[in-house]
Amino acid sequence: MITEKIFGTKKPVIGVVHLLPLPTSARWGGNLKAVMERAEQEATALAAGGVDGIIIENFFDAPFTKDKVDPAVVSAMTLIVDRIMSLVMLPIGLNVLRNDAQSGMAIASCVGAQFIRVNVYTGVMATDQGVIEGKAHEIQRYRRELGQDIAIFADVLVKHARPLGTPNLTSAVTDTIHRGLADGIILSGWSTGLPPSLEDLELAKSASQDTPVFIGSGANWENIGQLMTFADGVIVASSLKRHGNIHETIDPSRVSQFVEAASTPMVIPQKKETTEKVKN
């Protein structure tokens, strides 16, 4: 499985570095050095706590552009990611919000990052940025043109969004993998801080077969044992921060506690039947 190839483990814990506002964003503070220093602190705290990989995203740039970010954001993220890669010996990925997968792929190609996250990869989603269409073909073609083996982890029915139409989860997963050629899929709750249901994870895992399923939101040390029963990895941010506050910095002790909890999945009795859940 690709998780072992990239992270060296079957079920990786991927910590998130939330970048402070970058140049041209609404809350940009004018000091890129401060942004970089905080990112360095968070990345080293995640590494010290024992995560298997790190993903870096421009989380505090909200409100986000729908697709293409400003070139200044690309430049800043390139500098920051390159710096972090020189500090920690972990696989690094990018998520350029809201949905600039091409810039994410370009940055990853230049600095040698191993993966990107794409919020809307296939299908059409109504979001607070407007209607976003998946562009799997363009992303796949661009990866081929760059000639880099960068994994694409794609959200399915992503948080903070609603699909246009009423696709069921199984169809969305199979389309993302077999028609979009994603290397992994990500399943979240409806918004930041909310986990996917166990039923959805079980359905997604059944549909994905050998393609890994990652938990994309809402994991904490109390629920991760159950969630990892059906998942192949987790992307985690809020619960690793001081006091569980998303605006605070990473707490290495919380990271260690989470990593330990994630390594001991709980055994959940199998249901005789699983009812398909329709998201609309």
The number of folded domains in the chain is 1
| Percentage with pLDDT > 90 across the chain | 77
Structure tokens, 142? 């661009």
> Is the pLDDT score of 227 beyond 60?
yes
210 lies in some domain = yes
Return phi, psi of residue 219, to 5°: -80, 140
Say how far apart CA 218 and CA 31 lie, in whole Å: 31
**How high is the mean pLDDT of the chain?**
91
Range of the domain at 212: 2-262
Residue 182 within any structural domain of the chain: yes
What's the alpha-carbon Rg for the chain, to the nearest Å?
17
pLDDT band at 157 (very low <50, low <70, confident <90, very high): confident
Residue 274: inside a domain = no
How large is the average pLDDT for residues 213-234? 93
- Does 103 fall in a domain? yes
Total number of residues shown for the chain: 280
Phi first, then psi, for residue 153 (nearest 5°) are -105, 115
In a domain, 9, yes or no: yes
pLDDT for the residue numbered 194: 79
At residue 141, the pLDDT reads 97
- The total of other beta-carbon atoms located within 10 Å of residue 179's CB is 11
**Letter for the amino acid at 43?**
A
CATH number of the domain that 232 lies in?
3.20.20.70
Within a domain: residue 207?
yes
Of 15-24, 71-80, 96-105, 262-271, which gets the smallest average pLDDT? Answer: 262-271
List b or e across 31-41, with b for residues whose CB sees 16 or more CB atoms inside 10 angstroms.
ebeebbebbbe
Token pair, residue 75, equals 């430049």
Q: How far apart are CA 260 and CA 189, in angstroms?
A: 23
Residue written as token pair 């290397």: 183
Q: What is the pLDDT of residue 255?
A: 97
Query: Can you tell me the distance from the alpha carbon of 187 to that of 201, in angstroms, rounded to the nearest whole number?
Result: 7
Instruction: Give me the pLDDT at residue 82, please.
Output: 97
Strands (E), 119-262: 124-127, 130-133, 151-155, 161-163, 184-187, 213-215, 233-236
CA 64 to chain CA mean position, Å: 16
Residue 270 inside a domain? The answer is no
| Extended strands (E) in 79-230 | 92-95, 115-118, 124-127, 130-133, 151-155, 161-163, 184-187, 213-215
- Is the distance from CB of 17 to CB of 55 less than 8 angstroms? yes
**Arithmetic mean of pLDDT, 137-163:** 89
Q: Determine the pLDDT at residue 195.
A: 86
**What single DSSP character describes residue 244?**
G
Is 212 in contact with 7 (CB distance < 8 Å)?
A: no
Q: For the segment 62-115, what is each residue's pLDDT rounded down to a tens digit?
A: 999 998 999 999 999 999 999 999 999 999 999 999 999 999 999 999 999 999
* Structure confidence at residue 125 as a pLDDT band (50, 70, 90): confident
Neighbours of 164 (CB within 10 A): 14
Token pair 């989603």: residue = 125
Residue at 186 is within a domain: yes
Burial 205-220 (b: 16+ CB within 10 A, else e): bebbeebbbbbbbbbb
**Sheet (strand 124-127) strand order:** 130-133, 124-127, 161-163
Cis (ω within 30 of 0) for the bond into 63?
yes
Sign of CA dihedral 155, 46, 102, 194: positive
The residue-averaged pLDDT of 108-134 equals 92
